[in-house]
């Protein structure tokens, strides 16, 4: 039987940033091949995904989350790959929803499998869902998922999430110049009409396979300017330290948008986020070159006290701020792929 971790003892890193958020990748597999994340040329039919024995079990994930909660984590987001490809995910949701201290349990998905899973996930204790939607134009949408999945399947997922009781639902759009940036106002208007929260994300240089160029980035300020010209906006003050999105509400009071500007307006100084990979490595930055192996501890007889000390030491030594330092000098740095680390 694992020992119980001590009462919550908040931990901070070398830049005095607390550990508040944990993103948990439950699978490295995905049913899309979005070029900015899992380009088909790299993740094609011959790509080897992790064997099942190397994935953390639900019990192991829950143990890490419980220990993280003892150090101040209150928010957990399930990611992938596509997390709904992990069988019986609702069982993990129920286990995490019961962890003391976790007050915000969320999921990021491409939405395709939500019609079959939304109600079970909500019943298990999931309350927030973010759905990726990169375009409302059919041709552009299919080009961006690169496997021919029609737009209507994601729209059906949004409808299913709403019917299951998820609210508010966020829509994530990765914006790439010359690919989907002409549809920003349309996406904002769609979200506004359907009571959804649009989030526009700058195209990031995560990993080394997505052929990232600065010229492909549409700065968040430009995104806001384009939408504001048609649907007038005003800024909203951050709701808490470490809030990733800069939020803007419509001046008529009918909803809001958010922009995530990790390239042009880096927010490293307030980053409170760690990431747990599918096979149990803890990463302290989205742009990290390597992680810390927690699976070896989990399967090597470590107590919860041992895990707590290890996690506290990892976070306490953290000094990551890649986006603030991004320059020609960081261009060749090795980085873990987004599909592995969980975005």
Q: What angle do CA 274, 279, 282 make, to 5 degrees?
A: 20
Contacts of residue 19, defined as CB under 8 A and 6 or more positions apart, other chains included, come to 10, 11, 12, 13, 68, 71, 72, 73, 272, 274, 315
Lowest-pLDDT range, 6-15, 179-188, 205-214? 205-214
User: How does the average pLDDT of the chain come out, rounded?
Assistant: 90
SS3 sequence of the chain: CCCCCCCCCCCECCCCCECCEEEEECCCCCCCCCCCCCCCCCCCCCCCCCCHHHCCCHHHHHHHHHHHHHCCCCEEEEECCCHHHCCCHHHHHHHHHCCCCCCEEEEEECCCCHHHHHHHHHHHCCCEEEEECCCCCHHHHHHHHCCCCCHHHHHHHHHHHHHHCCCCCEEEEEEECCCCHHHHHHHHHHHHHCCCEEEEEECCCCCCCCCCCHHHECCHHHHHHHHHCCCCEEECCCCCCCCCCEEEEECCCCCEEEEECCCCCCCHHHCCEEEECCCCEEECCCCCCCCEECHHHHCCCCCHHHHHHHHHHHHHCCCCCHHHHCCHHHCCCCCCCHHHHCC
Lowest-pLDDT range, 237-241, 279-283, 297-301? 237-241
pLDDT at 115 over 90: yes
**pTM assigned to the model:** 0.92
HSE of 260, CA atoms in CB hemisphere, 13 A: 21
CATH node for 21-341: 3.20.20.70
> Taking Cα atoms as reference points, which of 223, 225, 172, 174 lies closest to residue 203?
174
Residue bearing tokens 């080897």:
48
Q: What local confidence, expressed as pLDDT, does residue 42 receive?
A: 84
Lowest-pLDDT range, 83-87, 214-218, 246-250? 214-218
pLDDT confidence of 5, banded at 50, 70, 90?
very low
Mean pLDDT for 7-31 is 92
Q: Please state, as a whole number, how many other Cβ atoms lie within 10 Å of the Cβ of residue 267.
A: 18
Q: What local confidence, expressed as pLDDT, does residue 142 receive?
A: 95
Q: What local confidence, expressed as pLDDT, does residue 167 receive?
A: 92
Structure tokens, 73? 């984590």
Structure tokens, 157? 């997922």
- pLDDT tens per residue, range 216-247: 899 999 999 999 999 999 999 988 877 889 99
337 — phi, psi (to 5°)? -70, 145
- pLDDT tens per residue, range 151-185: 999 999 999 999 999 998 999 999 999 999 999 99
Q: What local confidence, expressed as pLDDT, does residue 288 receive?
A: 81
């Amino acid at each position: 039987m694992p020992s119980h971790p001590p009462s919550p003892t908040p931990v901070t890193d070398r830049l005095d940033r607390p550990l508040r958020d944990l993103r948990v990748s439950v699978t490295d597999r995905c049913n899309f091949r979005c070029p900015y994340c899992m380009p088909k040329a790299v993740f094609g039919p011959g790509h080897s995904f992790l064997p099942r024995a190397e994935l953390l079990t639900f019990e192991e994930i829950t143990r890490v989350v419980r220990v993280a909660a003892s150090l101040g984590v209150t928010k957990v987001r399930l990611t992938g790959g596509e997390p709904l490809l992990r069988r019986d995910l609702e069982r993990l949701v129920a286990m995490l929803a019961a962890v003391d201290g976790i007050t915000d349990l969320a999921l990021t998905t491409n939405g395709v499998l939500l019609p079959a899973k939304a109600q079970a996930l909500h019943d298990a204790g999931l309350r927030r869902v973010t759905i990726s939607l990169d375009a409302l134009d059919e041709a552009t949408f299919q080009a961006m998922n690169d496997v021919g999945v029609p737009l209507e399947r994601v729209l059906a997922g949004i409808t299913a999430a709403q019917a299951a009781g998820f609210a508010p639902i966020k829509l994530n759009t990765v914006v790439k110049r010359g690919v989907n940036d002409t549809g920003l106002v349309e996406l904002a208007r769609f979200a506004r009409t359907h009571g959804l929260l649009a989030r526009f994300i700058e195209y990031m240089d995560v990993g080394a396979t997505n052929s990232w160029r600065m010229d492909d980035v549409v700065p968040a300020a430009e995104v806001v300017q384009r939408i504001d010209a048609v649907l007038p906006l005003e800024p909203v003050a951050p709701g808490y330290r470490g809030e990733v999105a800069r939020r803007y509400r419509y001046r008529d009071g009918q909803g809001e948008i958010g922009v995530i500007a990790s390239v042009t307006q880096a927010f490293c100084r307030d980053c409170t986020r760690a990431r747990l990979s599918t096979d149990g490595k803890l990463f302290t930055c989205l742009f990290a070159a390597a992680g810390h192996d927690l699976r070896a501890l989990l399967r090597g007889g470590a107590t919860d006290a041992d895990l707590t000390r290890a996690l506290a030491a990892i976070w306490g030594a953290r000094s990551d701020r890649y986006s603030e330092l991004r320059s020609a000098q960081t261009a060749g740095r090795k980085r873990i792929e987004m599909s592995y680390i969980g975005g």
